Structure 1
């Protein structure tokens, strides 16, 4: 068990929005840290278009729908107002996404053992046959890996962009100010987009030197790879791709160095 104050009043960047940051921040506080909430990633639904409308109207003709995040779930069902008892089978990446669906009365029939696209595809492929019809709602910056891999296996995959990802202007200014004053001790990253948005600010304001004194923690190999591409040192990447495991691993890293 970790020490009650293992984070030792360290200021920890929480790169999520207010609705998603609560449990993240509480975990930091319980371990003696100071959560600094600066949403580096925000989402907005796209404007309704013909492509989306066609997918919604044909929703009951799909064999599977794949939801890769809770944002995808919430956004999709803000558009869909059809029969909730006639849905295709549902696959998700992550227990949290499955939980959001369950709150809507929808049971996920497939959850991979690890919450990354590569593992999802490997474990989902046995369920896919030639002509299996799959709907994949996604954000505008989502990877192509899942659709490309399932299509190569013979599935008919319809991708539809349902939301856009952006960094709020107020977050940019707050982040620049705190980095300039060396007021962030630990930087946590939950996706490649959070890395990109932070580095846009770093480069805009010339704050590269300020990053050298920060501990950097991230979730997942794709996010880790993006950090490496910027030439940054990654101190912590947990084996399990969850916020809790990232924080516990960060605490272990701190304790090992104390």
Structure 2
């Protein structure tokens, strides 16, 4: 648990869209912060191409399917016919992704201790045999780190893009206004894409000097690297890559007088 009131009535930017922001906002409010939802990322399924439909029809030919996020799970299932079972074994990154699948009645066969691609690969590779077929549904901006590592091990890794990532237009004006007024105290980032979209707006509107008073928190090392590449100073990052732990790391930073 995060100590009560640990966020000290500070405004916290929630970068997720409505469908995924609720639990994040509730956690901020419960712990003494003021959540401000400014979605920096949104998702839309791709058109069902012949390749995608063929892949779905041949799920039974795969040994594993890897889901890297809730969005990947939800989008993938939106393409499946009602009652179509997932026949391969399932591997996921993240406890929340596992919970979403289990709520759907699926059995998850592998969850790593570390919730990033690098940690996933280190822990998952011993479970993979040469020649096994592995399917990786993904977004258009996702890295190919997992598939490259699997291919190096001798597996057949097929990536299929099932959704596109974009910046919601309605967030632009709200973000510019709140940054201009210095109304945001804590900036949280949950992916490299949220950072790219945020910094694009900052740079287009010459607002970089308005970030100097902000506490910047990233959910994990990949996002932290992206933030630093874009010129942000990162003040907080958790050891366990979850939203709750990210907020704990912010509370710890505030508590030690950051």
1:114 matched to 2:114? The reply is: yes
Partner in structure 2 of residue 200 of structure 1: 200
RMSD: 1.2
Residue aligning to 1:5: 5
Q: How does 1:50-69 map to 2 (within 5 A)?
A: 50-69=50-69
What is aligned with 1:182? Answer: 182
> What do residues 78-100 of structure 1 show as CA deviations (whole Å, max 9, x unaligned)?
00116544511000001100111
Give the whole-Å Cα distance in 1 for the aligned partners of 2:86 and 2:195.
39
Query: Distance in 2 between the 1:248 and 1:49 partners?
Result: 43
1:14-46 CA-to-partner distances (Å, cap 9, x unmatched) read 000112111111111112110000110100000
User: 2:249 matched to 1:249?
Assistant: yes
CA distance in 2, matches of 1:230, 1:27: 28
- Give the structure 1 partner of residue 91 of structure 2: 91
- 2:172 maps to 1:141: no
Whole-Å Cα distance in 1 between the matches of residues 22 and 85 of structure 2? 32
Query: Could you tell me how far 1:6 is from its partner in structure 2?
Result: 2.0
Match of 1:21 in 2: 21
| CA displacement 1:118-143 (0-9 Å, x = unmatched) | 11111111111111001100000000
Structural mapping, 1:141-160, within 5 Å = 141-160=141-160
C-alpha distance in structure 1 between counterparts of 2:49 and 2:187, whole Å:
38
Query: Which residue is equivalent to 1:102?
Result: 102
Tell me by how many angstroms 1:175 deviates.
Answer: 0.5
* Pairwise CA distance, 1:51: 1.3
Give the TM-score taking structure 2 as reference length. Answer: 0.97
CA–CA distance in structure 1, aligned partners of residues 86 and 137 of structure 2: 18
Aligned residues: 258
* Unmatched runs of 5 consecutive residues or more in structure 2: none
CA contact (8 A) 2:14 2:39 kept: yes
Higher mean alpha-carbon deviation, 122-131 vs 184-193, is at 122-131
CA distance in 2, matches of 1:155, 1:68: 18
Q: For residues 179 and 128 of structure 1, do their structure 2 counterparts lie closer, same or farther at Cα, with a shift above 3 Å needed? A: same
Q: Is the 8 A contact 2:6 2:31 kept in 1?
A: yes
Structure 1: gaps (5+ residues): none
**Cα shift readout 1:203-247 (whole Å, capped 9, x = no counterpart):** 111101001110000111100000110121100011010000010
List per-residue Cα deviations over 1:146-184 (Å, max 9, x = no partner): 000001110001100000000101111111110011000
Counterparts of 1:225-240 in structure 2, within 5 Å, are 225-240=225-240
Matched residue, 1:217: 217
* Cα distance in 2 for residues equivalent to 1:218 and 1:230: 13
| Deviation >3 Å, runs of 4+ | 82-86
User: What CA distance in whole angstroms lies between the structure 1 residues aligned with 2:82 and 2:60?
Assistant: 9
Find the aligned partners of 1:235 and 1:86 in 2 and give their Cα distance. Answer: 41
- Aligned pairs for 1:35-46 within 5 A: 35-46=35-46
